[in-house]
Amino acid sequence: MQKKLLISLTLASIMLIGCANNDTKPTTKKFERFQTVAIEKTTMLQSGKDKYSCPECGMKLPMFYKTNHSATSNGKVKQYCSIHCLVEDKSIKKSNIKDMKVVAIDSLKFISVKDAIYVVGSEKKGTMSGLSKYAFEGRMSARRFVKEHQGRVMSFDEAYEYALKDFAH
């Protein structure tokens, strides 16, 4: 019985693969992450050959733009893919970090983390963490997001504490 089921599943998989579009042209379908923003709509604050990559993990910043954070360390601007990587640099590696900012998803602009309203634990996938953390410029935008996607509204300091828990062993 198990052998017949395995054969049936294998044949079904082959049929599905065979029916897939083998056209090599780009398709109009979008299979992007919620965090992704078109590169022309992003703001890159760091410079150099790696300006589009997170200095902590190497992930591409436009792909995770809605969770980007930035900070100045030793006079140099660093742009992170997430609060997770900011926390790693600041609290784990003990880098001297100042002027922390975050992309507000309701404006796609960098704002001070102290002015941001965070939504933690929504049904939208997180970046570098199973627990999502998104920032908003306006409290009403954050509340609408919670109504649609769940989560809890909180401050940067509270969201930072949740991100710090990713490193507890």
Quote the pTM value.
0.80
User: What's the pLDDT score for residue 76?
Assistant: 95
102-117 pLDDT, tens digit per residue, is 999 999 999 999 999 9
Count Cβ atoms within 10 A of the Cβ of residue 44 and give its class: 0-12 exposed, 13-18 middle, 19 or more buried. middle
Residue-range domain boundaries for the chain: 39-167
Closest listed residue to residue 108, CA positions, set 159, 43, 33, 31: 43
User: What's the pLDDT score for residue 110?
Assistant: 98
- With 90 as the cut, is the pLDDT of residue 3 above it? no
12-65 pLDDT, tens digit per residue, is 443 333 333 333 333 334 557 899 999 999 999 999 999 999 999 999 999 999
Q: Where are the strands (E) in 97-162, listed by range?
A: 97-104, 109-112, 117-120, 133-136, 152-154
User: What's the pLDDT score for residue 168?
Assistant: 87
- What is the rounded distance in angstroms from the CA atom of residue 22 to the CA atom of residue 139? 46
CB 159 within 8 A of CB 132: no
- What is the rounded distance in angstroms from the CA atom of residue 156 to the CA atom of residue 114? 6
Closest listed residue to residue 132, CA positions, set 104, 164, 163: 163
Mean pLDDT confidence for 152-166: 97
Strands 69-73 and 152-154: unpaired
- What is the rounded distance in angstroms from the CA atom of residue 68 to the CA atom of residue 114? 15
Tally the C-alpha atoms within 13 A of residue 146's C-alpha that lie toward its C-beta.
Answer: 17
